């Protein structure tokens, strides 16, 4: 029902056409695209500095919008950024097709004409498109902060906000940065979310494999979880349907269930985990892997998004757990 400004600017959606199943979209407009008043380095209300999707499909568009923070309509925001959108579509029927056939190429056309060529975004280097180009440091207000080396594969702003709220100093580096040769002092490594097939991130996987030897805490989210698994010698595979919603139930190994926000099209093959690693979370809908952790070392990762934006905050304690490890 809410969260379209966050979803449309989520770097994990880079190159995709997004279909919203909730029927009414646009009813609260779009806030001003500006920096956070407390942290000038981060856009307020958004998950990156630009719209990341290639197109938007909805059922019922709200031409009238109302919110005290709204500066313009969803239509104006998309048009100003040259992102096509279409409404009046039977998104329930489209969802049934996608749930039967799986994710597929698609187009938004303005007429019957047009070529029949489709571009597979997974064949392009999507992570390099959304990653920072050179290191950037988010300073902490604490006198003696924990320092996190954040490997940016397309990090959401709210992940950075979560670390800053916990008085950490965040050193944001490009996706192909090698922590072993870092010029920065850091207490832990974080591997972010991001778009596309994790196996395309060969350089990042190799760097993380080396980083395990440092024995410093390592935390991965979404694509970061898949990269950690591949670095540990496990395998990943493409999901037929993917998980893209804000209400996915995940069961922790101790039996507790959490409602999570998710956006991924690939998963870790839990049958390939070595004896040093264990499955930590499982998706209650399809039994796919939702988290892994090392049995003896401070390495752990989750497939879902504990930072939310949008979605529930049930698993925000994972950030506290990482801070305590450092």
Q: Is 201 a member of any domain?
A: yes
Q: Is residue 109 part of a domain?
A: no
For residue 38, name the pLDDT band (cuts at 50, 70, 90): low
For residues 316-320, give the mean pLDDT.
98
pLDDT of 87-103, one tens digit each?
Answer: 999 999 999 998 888 88
- How confident is the model over 139-195, as pLDDT tens digits? 998 999 999 999 999 999 999 999 999 999 999 999 999 999 999 999 999 999 999
Q: Is the pLDDT of residue 34 over 90?
A: no
Residue located via tokens 């050179």 = 134
pLDDT for the residue numbered 314: 94
Q: Which residues contact 256 (CB under 8 A, 6 or more apart)?
A: none
pLDDT the model gives residue 39? 62
Say whether both 273 and 153 belong to one domain.
yes
Q: What is the mean pLDDT of residues 209-217?
A: 97
Residue 25 has pLDDT above 80, yes or no: yes
Q: Which of 102, 136, 158 is the last residue of a domain?
A: 102
Which pLDDT band, with edges at 50, 70 and 90, does 242 fall under?
confident
Amino acid 6: pLDDT: 94
Contacts of 299 (CB under 8 A, 6+ apart): 212, 217, 218, 228, 232, 293
* Residue 100 CA, distance from chain mean position: 24
Residue 201: pLDDT band by 50, 70, 90 thresholds? very high
Higher pLDDT, 241 or 177: 177
Query: Would you say residue 37 has pLDDT above 60?
Result: no
CATH number at residue 240: 3.40.50.880
Whether 61 and 87 have beta carbons less than 8 Å apart is answered as yes
Mean pLDDT of the 115-131 span: 82
> Measuring CA to CA, which residue among 289, 296, 319, 162 is closest to residue 229?
289
Which band of pLDDT confidence, cut at 50, 70 and 90, is reported for residue 35?
low
Task: Please name which of 311, 316, 241, 310 lies closest in space to residue 302, comparing C-alpha atoms.
Answer: 316
Share of the chain above pLDDT 70, in %: 96
Q: Does the active-site annotation cover 276?
A: no
* Strands 289-294 and 299-302, bridge-based pairing: antiparallel
Together in a domain, 88 and 196: no
Max distance between CA atoms of the chain, in angstroms, equals 62
Number of structural domains in the chain? 2
Catalytic residue among 243, 264, 294, 305: 305
Both 72 and 136 in a single domain?
A: no
Q: Given this model, what pLDDT does residue 117 score?
A: 73
Q: Is the dihedral of CA 197, 200, 204, 210 positive or negative?
A: positive
Is the same domain home to 25 and 64? yes
User: In this structure, are 94 and 139 located in the same domain?
Assistant: no
Looking at residue 115, what is its pLDDT?
67
56 located within any domain: yes
Q: Is the pLDDT of residue 197 over 70?
A: yes
Q: Is the dihedral of CA 42, 159, 249, 320 positive or negative?
A: negative
> Does residue 219 lie within any of the structural domains?
yes
What is the separation of C-alpha 167 from the centre of its chain, rounded to a whole number of angstroms? 22
Instruction: List the catalytic residue out of 222, 264, 290, 294.
Output: 222
Show the DSSP H helices in 169-309 as ranges.
Answer: 202-211, 223-231
Examine the domain organization and report whether 310 and 199 are in the same domain: yes
Q: Quick one: 316 and 251 in the same domain?
A: yes
User: What torsion, rounded to 10 degrees, do the Cα atoms 85, 90, 94, 99 define?
Assistant: 120
Tokens of 142: 């604490």
Q: How many CA atoms lie within 13 A of 176 on its CB side?
A: 11
Claim to verify: residue 156 and residue 67 sit in the same structural domain? no
The helix (H) or strand (E) run that includes residue 76 is helix 74-80
Tell me the two tokens of residue 255: 């039996």
Question: Which whole number is the average pLDDT over 5-16?
Answer: 94
Is there a single domain that holds both residue 151 and residue 220? yes
- Rounded CA-CA distance 232/277 in Å is 8
Give 148's strand partners.
170, 188
Computed from CA positions of residues 269, 256, 153, 117, in that sequence, does the dihedral angle turn out positive or negative?
Answer: positive
Which range of residues forms the domain containing residue 14?
A: 4-102
Q: Mean pLDDT, to the nearest integer, of 196-223?
A: 97
**Are 162 and 91 in a shared domain?**
no
Can 250 be counted among the known catalytic residues?
no
Better pLDDT: 251 or 32: 251
Please give the pLDDT value at position 99: 85
CATH number for the domain that contains residue 51: 3.50.30.20
Active-site residue 307, yes or no? yes
On whether both 160 and 300 belong to a single domain, the answer is yes
What is the pLDDT at residue 114?
Answer: 65
């Amino acid at each position: 029902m809410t969260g379209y400004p966050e979803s449309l600017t989520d770097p994990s959606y880079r190159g995709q056409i997004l279909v919203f199943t909730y029927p009414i979209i646009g009813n609260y407009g779009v806030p001003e695209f500006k920096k956070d008043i407390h942290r000038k380095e981060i856009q307020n209300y958004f998950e990156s500095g630009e719209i990341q999707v290639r197109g938007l499909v909805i059922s019922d568009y709200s031409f009238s919008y109302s919110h005290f923070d709204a500066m313009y309509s969803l239509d104006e925001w998309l048009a100003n950024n040259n992102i096509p959108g279409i409404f009046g579509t039977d998104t329930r029927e489209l969802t049934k097709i996608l749930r039967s056939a799986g994710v597929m190429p698609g187009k938004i056309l303005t007429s019957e004409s047009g070529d029949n060529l489709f571009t597979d975004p997974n064949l392009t280097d999507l992570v390099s498109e959304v990653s920072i180009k050179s290191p950037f440091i988010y300073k902490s207000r604490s006198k003696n902060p924990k320092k996190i080396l954040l490997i940016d594969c397309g990090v959401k702003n709210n992940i950075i906000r979560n670390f800053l709220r916990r008085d950490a100093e965040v050193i944001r580096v490009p996706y192909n940065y090698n922590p072993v040769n870092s010029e920065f002092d850091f207490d832990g490594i974080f591997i972010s979310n991001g778009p596309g097939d994790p196996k395309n991130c060969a350089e990042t996987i190799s760097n993380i494999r080396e980083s395990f030897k440092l024995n410093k805490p390592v935390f991965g989210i979404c694509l970061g979880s898949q990269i950690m698994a591949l670095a540990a010698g496990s395998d990943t595979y493409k999901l037929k349907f993917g998980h893209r919603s804000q209400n996915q139930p995940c069961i922790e190994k101790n039996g507790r269930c959490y409602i999570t926000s998710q956006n991924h099209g690939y998963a870790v093959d839990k049958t390939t985990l070595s004896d040093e690693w264990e499955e930590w979370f499982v998706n209650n809908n399809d039994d796919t892997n939702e988290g892994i952790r090392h049995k003896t070392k401070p390495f752990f990762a989750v497939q879902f998004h504990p930072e939310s934006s949008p979605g529930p905050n049930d698993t925000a304690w994972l950030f506290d757990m990482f801070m305590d490890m450092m």
